[in-house]
Amino acid sequence: MNSSQNAVSQAKSSLNLVLRDRNTFGFDVSAEVAYEITAAEQVPAVIRGVTEKNLPWRVLGGGSNVILPKVLSGATLLMNITSQEIVSSDEKATLIAVGGGVNWHEFVAWTLDNHFPGLENLALIPGTVGAAPIQNIGAYGVEIGEYIDSVEAFDAKSHTFVTLAKDACQFAYRDSYFKQNPHRFIVTKVIFKIPKQWQARIHYADLAKQFTSNLNPSPREIFLAVCKIRTQKLPDPKMIGNAGSFFQNPIVPNEQYKTLLHKYPGLVSYPDALGKRKLAAGWLIDQCGFKGQRMGNVGVYENQALVLVNHGGGTAQDILGLAKCIQDKVKKEFGVSLEIEPNIL
């Protein structure tokens, strides 16, 4: 191995690295040891080293879907793999391989700039490409799992690289095989399959309102509309710390939905793919009077009850305390359990 190859295979490490800019809540946290992963081949050595020392470890991308403690003990792998290439293209679809550290929104914008429409409904979702399949991110009627061909990852259990085809990823609402097997897979690359045949998807209520006089919008128009909606509803993490939607929309049986609808005629809900009913968690929280409320250094965003915010100086403990109050009140009022969406590390 020559010196340049050795540089690529060795991940740069840092002690007590401050990660305030690496989590969108803006919590003052630090990592005991942080490894900057810029190439997939760096991962095995890092995992082997921390395993031999019996140290805890985790992977951190953009920090947009996590709740971090003041100190991350052991090793923190910072996912910075930013490779991106068109693998193949035929009359049906284009395959694009993207590194796990690529900024998600920037990738979506790139697909439109290069005439590969399909992901525009997922614009402005914070985070990295590597985190996208784990959570099976979704917005405005589209889920990322629909556009994934396969995922390449390092399996910390077998200490080998694996490629999981779309079906093996077991994508479901805000769920995947990766999420079901936490602390096992380190996603290094995602291969997207973008169909050549494109169709506008604007049936989601908030998006449909943007096109009442334009029933045949272009991908770019949908992209801009989604950005507009998200900007109006969700605060910029650079201005006020947050992790976007904090709770998942709960899915309930039709019988429970009908009972709730009878009691609460204004109940906001959507049909679920499996025949059940998905309730709008933000509406439930709003009805309980939490929108705009503050608890110490944290609170509920004034424009969207689904978003919890750090006004400055807040901690993971503060956010989780507020979340517990919300969960208890919603459960008492509606008999519905809210599940926290961000990962608690």
Residues 226-233: contacts with CB within 8 Å, 24+ apart?
A: 226/120, 226/121, 226/122, 226/123, 226/124, 226/139, 226/140, 227/123, 227/124, 229/140, 230/123, 230/124, 230/125, 230/139, 231/124, 232/303, 233/303, 233/304, 233/307
Please give the angle made by the CA atoms of 281, 283 and 287, to the nearest 5 degrees.
Answer: 120
Residue 163: Cβ within 10 Å count: 12
- Given the residues 36, 41, 221, 341, select the one marked as catalytic: 341
> Is 120 part of the annotated catalytic residue set?
no
- What residues contact 316, with CB distance under 8 A and at least 6 apart? 25, 27, 67, 68, 69, 70, 344
- Given the residues 20, 174, 184, 201, select the one marked as catalytic: 174
Give yes or no for a contact between 40 and 74, defined as CB atoms under 8 angstroms apart. no
Per DSSP bridges, beta strands 138-139 and 84-89 are unpaired
> Is 245 part of the annotated catalytic residue set?
yes
Q: Determine the straight-line distance between the first and last CA of the chain, rounded to whole angstroms.
A: 37
As a whole number of angstroms, the distance between CA 74 and CA 63 comes to 17
The percent of the chain in helix, strand and coil, each rounded to the nearest 5, is: 35, 30, 40
- Given the residues 64, 176, 245, 269, select the one marked as catalytic: 245
The residue count for the chain:
345
> Is 22 part of the annotated catalytic residue set?
no
The DSSP code for 40 is G
Query: Rounded to whole angstroms, what are the CA distances from 106 to 37, 151, 222?
Result: 20, 19, 16
Ramachandran bin of 76, using left for φ above 0, alpha for ψ from -120 to 50, beta for the remaining angles: beta
Phi, psi (5° rounding) for residue 193? Answer: -115, 105
As a whole number of angstroms, the distance between CA 256 and CA 251 comes to 10
Q: Report, as residue numbers or ranges, the catalytic residues.
A: 174, 245, 341
